[in-house]
Structure 1
Amino acid sequence: MSALVALVRLISGLNRLVGSVFAWLSLGIVVVCFAVVVQRYLFSTSYVWMQDLYIWLNGAMFTAVAGFALMRDDHVRVDVFYRKAPIRRKAAIDLFGVIVFLLPYCYVVAFYAWPFVARAWRYGEGSANYGGMPGLYVLKAFIIAFAALVALQGLAMAGRSILVLSGREADLPERLRYKSGQE
């Protein structure tokens, strides 16, 4: 079981690092978007590559931080039953959800995205807009990163659930434990 605890910590640590780094893109998005607006309305000029940039930063940020959001339990959840459930029931629901829904979803995303992303890399795909940014293939690769990081965090969730159901939740650090259903 200590290997499972180490795996849950390692995956959660990876998603925490990726999430912490890529969350800073939100500041870049705001700065670039502000610069585009100022250029357009004060100087009557615009650069297509800058418009591409803040849209691409947005896409990169949201795909990269998805596993981090899942780790923090920040995703939208219909929690009529889940919120007030005892911790063991939450663990069972999460384990079922990861195995039946999350991991197959990540597989489907990666399976169907792979040819799309590989083709973009082969062609060195860039923006479809004249004067736009080169390197769209890098952004498209974030689709695969999204599927991988979310699937990894799903495995960490399943591991956490197994630890809870086997009575070993205390082995996890506090930040990775379930919150009480009585909140």
Structure 2
Amino acid sequence: MQALLKLSRGIDRLNALVGRYVIWLILAATVISGINAVVRKVFHTSSNAFLEVQWYLFAASFLLAAGYTLLEKEHVKVDVLNAKLSLRTRVWIDVLGFALFLLPMCVVVLRYGTPFFLQAWSSGEMSSNAGGLIRWPVYLMMPLGFGLLLLQGVSEFIKRIAFLMGLIDDPTVKIVEKTAEEALAEAIRKAEEEAARNGAKHA
């Protein structure tokens, strides 16, 4: 089990790294959208390539971040029902959900999505729109995104089994890091409390 937990930590690091950089794709899509709007209004011209690259970047950010979203426990849950159950029951629901739904779904998408990408790559498929882009880069996002989601599903499955065996703490707890502003506010509050205590001692 320790070897599996080590594998889980490695997968977590991989998806954390991907998630840290995928956010830049959103910025790139926003900048391209702005440039496209300016060019269209000022020079009265445009290209379908501008629109398609925005779609490609959005698809890449959405799919590549799916594993990171699972790692950060940001996928939607029915909390109204979930919160009423015991911790072990919630973990067992996760185990069954990963084993029966998430992992098989990822395998199916990889099974059919990978040949779809390979066919477009080998044929050099182009967009049917005038001035459009080649299609294989966006098709590649399907196997990559669902591959990362599959890996993270395996990692989360391992962590929940380890928890049920009593080897690790609750893996469903979301660790929220303080923002710089929150850290500063807490430091100021502690300094004020310390000053107040010192003032009370001298009074």
User: Shorter-chain-normalised TM-score: which range?
Assistant: 0.7 to 0.9
What is residue 96 of structure 1 aligned with on the other side?
Answer: 96
Cα deviation digits, residues 9-41 of structure 1 (max 9, x gap):
111111111111112101001100111111112
Provide the C-alpha distance between the structure 2 equivalents of 1:158 and 1:59, rounded to a whole number of angstroms.
Answer: 26
Relative CO higher for 1 or 2, CA cutoff 8 Å, sep ≥ 6?
1
Q: CA deviation at 1:152?
A: 0.6
Secondary structure (helix, strand or coil) at the match of 1:177 reads coil
Identity of aligned residues (%): 35
Which segment is superposed worse, 31-40 or 81-90? 81-90
Secondary structure (helix, strand or coil) at the match of 1:81 reads helix
Provide the C-alpha distance between the structure 1 equivalents of 2:82 and 2:89, rounded to a whole number of angstroms.
Answer: 8
What is residue 136 of structure 2 aligned with on the other side?
Answer: 137
What is residue 87 of structure 2 aligned with on the other side?
Answer: 87
Provide the C-alpha distance between the structure 2 equivalents of 1:11 and 1:156, rounded to a whole number of angstroms.
Answer: 6
| Partners of 2:73 and 2:172 within 8 A in 1 | no
Matches of residues 85-124 of structure 1 in structure 2 within 5 Å?
Answer: 85-124=85-124
Answer yes or no: is 1:54 the counterpart of 2:54: yes
**Structure showing greater Rg:** 2
Provide the C-alpha distance between the structure 1 equivalents of 2:26 and 2:59, rounded to a whole number of angstroms.
Answer: 11
Answer yes or no: is 1:157 the counterpart of 2:173: no
TM-score after normalising by structure 2: 0.79
Provide the C-alpha distance between the structure 2 equivalents of 1:33 and 1:25, rounded to a whole number of angstroms.
Answer: 12
Provide the C-alpha distance between the structure 2 equivalents of 1:85 and 1:11, rounded to a whole number of angstroms.
Answer: 29
* Letter of the 1:26 counterpart: I
Q: CA deviation at 1:178?
A: 2.1
| Partners of 1:91 and 1:160 within 8 A in 2 | no
Q: CA deviation at 1:169?
A: 1.4
Cα deviation digits, residues 78-112 of structure 1 (max 9, x gap):
22222354432222111110001001111111122
Unmatched tracts of structure 1, length 5 or more: 171-175
What is residue 65 of structure 1 aligned with on the other side?
Answer: 65
* Letter of the 2:156 counterpart: M
* Letter of the 2:148 counterpart: L
Provide the C-alpha distance between the structure 2 equivalents of 1:6 and 1:118, rounded to a whole number of angstroms.
Answer: 32
Provide the C-alpha distance between the structure 2 equivalents of 1:48 and 1:21, rounded to a whole number of angstroms.
Answer: 26
Give the superposed CA RMSD: 1.7
Q: CA deviation at 1:5?
A: 1.8
Unmatched tracts of structure 2, length 5 or more: 175-203
* Letter of the 2:34 counterpart: F
Answer yes or no: is 1:20 the counterpart of 2:20: yes
